[in-house]
Amino acid sequence: MKLNFFRKKSPWILHYNAGGCNGCDIEILACLSPKYDIERFGMINTGNPKQSDILLVTGPVTKRSRERLVEIYAQMPEPKVVVSCGACACTGGVFRGMYNCEGGIDQYIPVDVYVCGCGTRPEQIIDGVIQALAILEKKSKELEQSVRLKKEPVKEGNQLNRRNIAGEIIKIA
């Protein structure tokens, strides 16, 4: 039975601040307020990675928070999508190039939707999440399953040749 339809009906959100200034976080909380009311789409701000579908990340990834970011992403069960909120999370923003930050979250985890703005407007966040839902619905089961490779990586000189393996993965999928 195909249950993909229900994914976009009840997206549960996990919100993580990777060292931002709290501006975008306040806008995310504004989405929950009566004026914007994202609960009408069935969204809940769970705060628990094991039960959520959408990871909303704000802030440039500081070196303290990057391990937590990857850990939280790994704890979310598939299917999952990542939405980066705000200029900092997309590119690093005004913090780009500083000694304590990385330029955006996409250096660590795959990002599906980028929402721009400093800070992002609640309308933009809702729009970004709705676009993420379309991606979430399309994500297939095959993507989640781990693939057991039959071929051993070939060593050419000093480097492993992964090209043949990539070809095999495409054949399986």
Judged by the rule CB under 8 A, the positions of this chain that interact with another protein are 3-4, 6-7, 9-10, 12, 34, 37, 39-42, 46-48, 50-51, 53, 75, 77-79, 144
Output the smallest distance, CB 1 to another protein, in A.
9
- The CA radius of gyration of the chain, in Å to the nearest whole number, is 18
Q: What span, in angstroms and rounded, lies between the C-alpha atoms of 91 and 85?
A: 10
Q: Quick one: 47 or 167, whose CB is closer to another protein? A: 47
Q: Quick one: 50 or 155, whose CB is closer to another protein? A: 50
Of 6, 27, 26, nearest to 127 by C-alpha is 27
Output the smallest distance, CB 43 to another protein, in A.
8
Output the smallest distance, CB 95 to another protein, in A.
28
Cα separations in angstroms, 81 against 57, 110, 112, 139, 162: 11, 9, 6, 9, 27
Q: Quick one: 42 or 153, whose CB is closer to another protein? A: 42
Output the smallest distance, CB 64 to another protein, in A.
20
Query: In degrees to the nearest 10, what's the CA dihedral of 104, 106, 112, 115?
Result: 10
- DSSP 8-state code for residue 161: E
Output the smallest distance, CB 164 to another protein, in A.
29
Q: Quick one: 23 or 79, whose CB is closer to another protein? A: 79
Q: What span, in angstroms and rounded, lies between the C-alpha atoms of 101 and 63?
A: 6
Q: What span, in angstroms and rounded, lies between the C-alpha atoms of 103 and 18?
A: 12
Q: Quick one: 12 or 108, whose CB is closer to another protein? A: 12
